[in-house]
């Protein structure tokens, strides 16, 4: 059996069991209680901030963590 993994902003990571979106953000150094202006999509669906501590990450999931940057 292959190690379960997920992808965050295109990079592969090893999946821990019962990992939530909040856990994932902490692991990436993005602290939800401090960071404003961040949004998360799990497999092309936006996960609202209020759901971060409940939404589970599964094997093969693709997670996008985005923020505002310079743009025209």
Partner 1 sequence: MEQEDLFNVGGLALRSRLLIGSSGYPSPQIMMEAVEASGSELLTVAIRRVNLSDTSGESLLGLLTSLPVHLLPNTAGCYTAREAVLVAELAREALETDLIKLEVIGDDETLMPDVEQLLQAARTLIDSGFTVMAYANDDPVTCRKLADMGCAAVMPLASPIGSGMGLTNPYNLALIRELIPDVPLLVDAGIGTASDAARAMELGYDGILLNTAVSQAKHPVQMAKAMRLAVEAGRFAWRAGRIPRRRYAQASSPFEGRVEATPT
Binding residues (CB under 8 A) for partner 1: these are: 8-11, 28-30, 36-41, 44, 46, 48-49, 64-72
CB of 70 to partner 1, least distance (A): 4
How many Å apart are CA 21 and CA 32, to the nearest integer? 10
CB of 58 to partner 1, least distance (A): 19
Residues 57, 64, 25: CA angle, nearest 5 degrees: 60
> Which phi and psi (to 5°) does residue 42 adopt?
-115, 115
In the complex with partner 1, which residue's Cβ is closer, 4 or 30?
30
How many Å apart are CA 45 and CA 61, to the nearest integer? 11
CB of 6 to partner 1, least distance (A): 13
């Amino acid at each position: 059996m292959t190690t379960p993994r997920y992808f965050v902003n295109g990079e592969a990571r090893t999946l821990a069991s019962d990992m939530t979106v909040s856990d994932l953000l902490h692991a990436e150094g993005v602290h939800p209680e401090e960071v404003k202006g961040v949004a998360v999509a799990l497999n092309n669906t936006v996960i609202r901030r209020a759901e971060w501590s409940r939404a589970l990450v599964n094997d093969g999931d693709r997670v996008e963590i985005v923020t505002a940057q310079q743009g025209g």
